[in-house]
């Protein structure tokens, strides 16, 4: 009976994964359709937006079900393994499993159904949102961060397709597109929700959008905290200069254009 339950759970897991593939195929079709429209046309698309949302809700539910079935399957397999073992052998297996769980928790490269679900939820929240993105390669001498718009999430590669909406220079005319992992993207605080913005202590290092540009640069927080959540940050940008100013000029930057400085930032 226990083996029959294992086989049934395995079949259900296989069914869920196939259904997830179908859902993401439909999501990708809609993303492709949106990418072929200009901004005016996209704003007029009512029903496709509802379909896209419904597909993401379905994807979220399938991912949650996958976690539930996977957990049940693990318990069933554990029960089968332990049934014919001595207490010493069961203890040894439990210790080894605990070590593996600890290693998985500490190693970000080891993905699980739960981490996939978390990534899908983040992808759902970031589509069509502006974010801070490092567009330079890992081996570049310095990091360059810009405001980009998330247009699509590729489930197979687990990368975001983003669009730099600012026109390029003469050599790179037009808008530039990139495919980036989540590790090179930082969501901005929500413009309409000041509570999503952190209170950085004085002296804290941050990345902030320099006034009049779409580029983010390293800066230092001057004020200890904002009196009101929706107030601007007072910052000093590294290597900034202003005519007639003896030191670094202090600039007020909106709370929704400031993010924590990434660890290992190169400048």
Q: Which domain holds residue 155?
A: 128-187
Do both 170 and 208 map to the same domain? no
User: How far, rounded to the nearest angstrom, does the alpha carbon of residue 155 sit from its chain's CA centroid?
Assistant: 12
Please indicate, yes or no, whether residues 163 and 213 belong to a single structural domain of this protein. no
Q: Please list, in sequence order, all residues whose beta carbon lies within 8 angstroms of the beta carbon of residue 151, skipping any fewer than 6 positions away.
A: 31, 34, 35, 127, 128, 161, 162, 163, 177
Decide if 236 contacts 206 (C-beta within 8 A): no
Cβ pair 97, 123 in contact under 8 A: no
Q: Residue 171: is its pLDDT beyond 90?
A: no
Predicted pLDDT of residue 134: 93
* Short-list 122, 118, 185, 174, CA closest to 149: 185
Closest CA to 203 of 183, 187, 178, 223: 223
Q: Which among 124, 127, 123, 143 is positioned nearest to 135, based on CA atoms?
A: 143
In the chain, what percentage of residues exceed pLDDT 70? 70
CB 24 within 8 A of CB 59: yes
**How far apart (Å, rounded) are the C-alpha atoms in residues 104 and 181?**
20
Are residue 105 and residue 44 in the same domain, yes or no? yes
256: confidence class by pLDDT, cuts 50, 70, 90: very high
> Are 176 and 208 members of one domain?
no
Q: In terms of domains, do 8 and 115 share one?
A: yes
Do 29 and 104 lie in a common domain?
A: yes
- The CATH number of whichever domain residue 165 belongs to comes to 2.30.30.140
Residue 147 in domain: yes
For the beta carbon of residue 216, count every other beta carbon within 10 angstroms. Answer: 25
pLDDT tops 80 at residue 172: no
Is 247 found in the same domain as 163?
no
* Position 213 in a domain: yes
DSSP conformation letters of 202-240: TT-EEEEEPTTSSEEEEEEE-SS--SSTTSPEEEEETT-
Higher confidence at residue 136 or residue 121? 136
Highest mean pLDDT, choosing among 96-100, 141-145, 241-245: 141-145
Report the chain's mean pLDDT, rounded to a whole number: 78
Within-domain flag for 266? no
With 90 as the cut, is the pLDDT of residue 148 above it?
yes
- Number of domains comprising the chain: 3
**What is the DSSP-derived secondary structure letter of residue 175?**
-
CA distances from 98 to 72, 83, 102, 160, 227 (A): 17, 19, 6, 33, 47
Mark which of 101, 121, 141 sits at the end of a domain: 121
Which of 187, 206, 237 is at the close of a domain? Answer: 187
Structure confidence at residue 149 (pLDDT): 93
Q: How confident is the model at residue 73 (pLDDT cuts 50, 70, 90)?
A: confident
pLDDT reported for residue 110: 43
Beta strand extents in the chain (DSSP E only): 130-134, 145-154, 159-164, 176-181, 185-187, 205-209, 215-221, 233-237, 250-253, 258-260
87-134 pLDDT per residue, tens: 666 666 667 766 666 655 555 544 455 556 666 677 778 888 999 999
CA–CA separation, 191 and 147 (whole Å): 14
**Contact in structure between 40 and 8 (CB atoms under 8 Å):** no
Within a domain: 168: yes
Output 218 or 36, whichever has higher pLDDT. Answer: 218
The per-residue pLDDT for 109 is 45
pLDDT in tens, 47-60: 676 777 788 888 88
């Amino acid at each position: 009976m226990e083996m029959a339950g294992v086989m049934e759970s395995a079949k259900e897991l296989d069914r869920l994964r196939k259904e997830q593939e179908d859902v993401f195929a439909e999501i990708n079709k809609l993303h492709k359709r949106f990418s072929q429209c200009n901004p005016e046309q996209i704003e007029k698309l009512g029903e496709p937006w509802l379909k896209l949302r419904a597909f993401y809700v379905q994807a979220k539910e399938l991912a949650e079900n996958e976690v539930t079935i996977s957990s049940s399957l693990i318990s069933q397999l554990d029960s089968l393994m332990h049934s014919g073992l001595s207490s010493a052998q069961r203890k040894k297996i439990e210790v080894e499993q605990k070590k593996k769980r600890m290693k998985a928790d500490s190693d970000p490269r080891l993905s699980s159904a739960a981490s996939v679900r978390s990534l899908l939820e983040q992808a759902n929240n970031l589509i069509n949102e502006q974010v801070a993105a490092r567009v330079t390669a890992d081996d570049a001498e310095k990091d360059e961060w810009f405001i980009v718009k998330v247009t699509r999430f590729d489930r197979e590669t687990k990368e975001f397709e983003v669009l730099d909406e600012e026109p390029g220079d003469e050599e790179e005319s037009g808008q530039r597109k990139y495919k980036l992992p989540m590790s090179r993207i930082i969501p901005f605080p929500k413009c309409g929700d000041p509570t999503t913005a952190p209170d950085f202590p004085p002296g804290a290092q941050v990345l902030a959008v320099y006034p009049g540009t779409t580029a983010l640069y390293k800066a230092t927080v001057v004020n200890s905290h904002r009196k009101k959540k929706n107030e601007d940050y007072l910052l000093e940008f590294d290597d900034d200069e202003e005519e007639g100013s003896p030191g670094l000029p202090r600039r007020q930057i909106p709370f929704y254009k400031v993010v924590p400085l990434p660890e290992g930032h190169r400048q």
